[in-house]
Amino acid sequence: MNISIVGTGYVGLVSGTCFSEMGNHVWCIDVDKTKIENLKSGKIPIYEPGLEEMVLRNSKEGRLEFTTDYAQAVPSSDICFIAVGTPPGEDGSADTRYVLAAAESIAKNMSGYTIVVDKSTVPVGTSEKVRAVIKKVLDARTDAQGIEFDVVSNPEFLKEGVAVNDFMRPDRVVIGCDNARSEAMMKQLYEQFTLNEHPIICTDIKSAEITKYAANAMLATRISFMNEIAKLCDKVGGDVRAVRQGIGTDSRIGMSFLHASCGYGGSCFPKDVKELISVGKRNGIEMRIATAVEDVNNEQKHILPERIIQKYGQDLKEKTFALWGLAFKPETDDMREAPAITVVTELTKRGAKIKAYDPQAYEMAKHYLADISSDAISYEPDMWTALNGADALILVTEWKQFRSPDFAKIKALLKEPVIFDGRNQYDPKAMKAEGIELHCIGRGLV
């Protein structure tokens, strides 16, 4: 099939590349000229394991092309995916202006029957708006008589860090359609990805749109729930990891997304929970669970600064902290809503200096932490230089290389052997044996 993907970000680039991997011809379109020029010369704008080699191979073989020009891509496309950003607006509702702009540009360039797919995470009812925009443009075009189109919702469930694998082997594909023609073409496109018998679920369009928000809000709920249980453990005694084991082995519950931590971040959970609250409000429904999930998480992002202030006091002018991990999770460079932003902001506000190390996220971090002066934060060449002369180590992102470090070396480099572990990576008993003061989440203080 001939495919266009509009928006060449985390979702667009991965989806486009994976579709081309299956033999389809794919145009990736973006309004960001630098991004497209870089991609044309083989420079990948994001860090995502396995993506670079797949992009280079499919580009070389002519199945994957990049452009800023819709006219180059859309006329020959059977299916146009919209995968642009839907950031939260002032009131928390998802901003669909980029989606509608993309729909307009697609409509201006359609030359025959085209399926326009919302892959962006969009509020329920957006497909109707996309349909109206396309119809308006086609009606105004003198050369568009008889051009037919369908709008489909196909939410994306990939996880950054394992996005290529998730796309190539999805748990399920959800397709919201309102007619057999578009449903058949979408099924044909996705059949190659579901040979392992994971289902293609065809629904009405609104159910597909709601499914994406329900999925992310459910996962965020599990995290906030465990963070609340961790709070209880810290207060009354108990180990949240033992509790996780105790409940996660119940087949009705399962182990995933039950880790207590310094909060969830990223481009999806925070904004999708916000939109769910907002869509409820717009429709006279108070989304009480989603609201609580958001409140708990906003508090949780402050847990590390609070623990640090508890130990050292409000004035941190004389303190330097090593910070391991900036990205919102391992195996990505994405810093959107990362807990590290709260940690760095709160500590530097009180005069602390941060020596940060992250294997991938410096470019993004410099953007998201642009307000923090270079006197207050340094981006270190490796995890060990970050420790050199610091008062304590703060672990924010659980990159694999931080999981089992040389604790003797940590002790030798830090002024005092103190670790604030925001991801419960280190075993309290082992730390006690090492003589390290460990502050973790929901496991008591060692």
Ligand X SMILES: NC(=O)c1ccc[n+]([C@@H]2O[C@H](COP(=O)([O-])OP(=O)(O)OC[C@H]3O[C@@H](n4cnc5c(N)ncnc54)[C@H](O)[C@@H]3O)[C@@H](O)[C@H]2O)c1
When the beta carbons of 221 and 320 are compared against ligand X, the nearer one is: 221
183 binds ligand X (CB under 6 A): no
Which residue minimizes CB distance to ligand X?
A: 9
170 binds ligand X (CB under 6 A): no
- 8 Å CB contact between 144 and 174: no
162 binds ligand X (CB under 6 A): no
When the beta carbons of 83 and 138 are compared against ligand X, the nearer one is: 83
Contacts of residue 444, defined as CB under 8 A and 6 or more positions apart, other chains included, come to: 233, 234, 237, 238, 239, 428
Q: What angle do CA 188, 189, 195 make, to 5 degrees?
A: 75
268 binds ligand X (CB under 6 A): yes
When the beta carbons of 149 and 312 are compared against ligand X, the nearer one is: 149
3 binds ligand X (CB under 6 A): no
3-state secondary structure of 75: helix
275 binds ligand X (CB under 6 A): no
When the beta carbons of 234 and 337 are compared against ligand X, the nearer one is: 337
Candidate list 18, 177, 262, 268, residue with the active-site label: 268
299 binds ligand X (CB under 6 A): no
85 binds ligand X (CB under 6 A): yes
What is the Cα–Cα distance from 409 to 405, expressed in whole angstroms? Answer: 8
When the beta carbons of 88 and 444 are compared against ligand X, the nearer one is: 88
Beta bridge partners of 393: 322, 419
When the beta carbons of 65 and 346 are compared against ligand X, the nearer one is: 65
230 binds ligand X (CB under 6 A): no
Closest distance to ligand X from the beta carbon of 82 (Å): 8
When the beta carbons of 73 and 438 are compared against ligand X, the nearer one is: 73
Residue 284 φ/ψ region, left for φ over 0, alpha for ψ in the -120 to 50 degree band, beta for the rest? left
In this structure, the number of other CB atoms found within 10 A of the CB of residue 162 comes to 15
Contacts of residue 432, defined as CB under 8 A and 6 or more positions apart, other chains included, come to: 438, 446
83 binds ligand X (CB under 6 A): yes
Closest distance to ligand X from the beta carbon of 308 (Å): 30
Instruction: Tell me the residue length of the chain.
Output: 446
How many C-alpha atoms does 156 have within 13 Å on its Cβ side?
Answer: 28
Task: Choose which of 65, 160, 209, 358 interacts with ligand X (CB under 6 A).
Answer: 160
158 binds ligand X (CB under 6 A): yes
156 binds ligand X (CB under 6 A): yes
The identity of residue 270, as a single letter, is: P
- 8 Å CB contact between 43 and 193: no
101 binds ligand X (CB under 6 A): yes
Residue 152 φ/ψ region, left for φ over 0, alpha for ψ in the -120 to 50 degree band, beta for the rest? beta
Alpha helix positions (H), 115-264: 126-140, 163-168, 180-191, 205-236, 240-248
Task: Choose which of 4, 20, 86, 127 interacts with ligand X (CB under 6 A).
Answer: 86
Closest distance to ligand X from the beta carbon of 102 (Å): 4
When the beta carbons of 212 and 244 are compared against ligand X, the nearer one is: 212
120 binds ligand X (CB under 6 A): yes
316 binds ligand X (CB under 6 A): no
Q: What angle do CA 186, 16, 117 make, to 5 degrees?
A: 40
**Among 28-36, 132-140, 226-234, 235-243, the segment contacting ligand X (CB under 6 A):** 28-36
Residues numbered 4 to 23 that lie near ligand X (CB under 6 A) are 6-12
**Among 26-34, 142-150, 366-374, 420-428, the segment contacting ligand X (CB under 6 A):** 26-34
Closest distance to ligand X from the beta carbon of 310 (Å): 34
If binding means CB under 6 A, how many residues of this protein chain bind ligand X? 27
When the beta carbons of 7 and 405 are compared against ligand X, the nearer one is: 7
Closest distance to ligand X from the beta carbon of 232 (Å): 31
Q: In the block, which residue shows the tokens 């940060």?
A: 356
Cβ-based burial of 71 (10 A; exposed 0-12, middle 13-18, buried ≥19): exposed
Q: What is the 3-state secondary structure (H, E, C) of 423-443?
A: CCCCCHHHHHHHCCEEECCCC
Cβ-based burial of 290 (10 A; exposed 0-12, middle 13-18, buried ≥19): buried
Closest distance to ligand X from the beta carbon of 13 (Å): 8
Closest distance to ligand X from the beta carbon of 187 (Å): 21
- 8 Å CB contact between 127 and 209: yes
Question: Which of 279, 254, 268 has the alpha carbon at shortest distance from 337?
Answer: 268
294 binds ligand X (CB under 6 A): no
Active-site residue flag, 262 = no
Task: List residues binding ligand X (CB under 6 A).
Answer: 6-12, 29-32, 35, 83-86, 98, 101-102, 105, 120-121, 156, 158, 160, 267-268
Catalytic residue numbers, as ranges: 268
